[in-house]
Structure 1
C-alpha cells in the first residue's frame, strides 16, 4: 500500500539493520529456519499413540498442595 511517491523509498532503521545483517551473513536465514524446525516443527503423532497417551493420563486433584488426609 503506497501513500505517495515520496514515501516509496523510505526504509526504517530496523529494516536497514536487518537487510545489512542478512547481506553480511547470508547463512543467517537458513540457520533461523533450522532452529525453528528443531524446536517447533514436530512430526505428526499417530492416532494409536495419541489414544494411549490420553488413556495413561492421571487426573490432577483440584488443589495440588493439599493432602488427602
Structure 2
C-alpha cells in the first residue's frame, strides 16, 4: 500500500512521541474550545457598559 512521504513522517513522529495527540487536544482545548455563551449574561454586560468618550486621554475639567 502506497503512503506519501508526509504520511510516513507523521506515522514515524507518532511512534517517537506517543503523547503527541493528547498534547494537541490539550492545546486545542486551551485555545479554541470555548464554553457556551450565556446570552442573558451577555445582554446584562452590554447594557451595563459605560460608553467611552471619543477623546479618551483628554478630560474636560
Q: List structure 1 runs of 4+ shifted beyond 4 angstroms.
A: none
Total equivalences in the alignment: 52
* Cα distance between partner residues in 2 of 1:34 and 1:19: 20
Gaps of 5+ in 1: 1-8, 59-69
Measured at CA, do residues 46 and 39 of structure 1 come closer, stay the same or move farther in structure 2, by a change above 3 Å?
Answer: same
Larger RCO: 1 or 2 (CA < 8 Å, sep 6+): 2
Shift of 1:39: 0.2
* Cα distance between partner residues in 1 of 2:50 and 2:30: 26
Please give the TM-score of this superposition, normalised by the length of structure 2.
Answer: 0.70
Name 1:67's counterpart in structure 2.
none
Question: What CA RMSD, in Å, does the superposition of the two structures yield over aligned residues?
Answer: 2.0
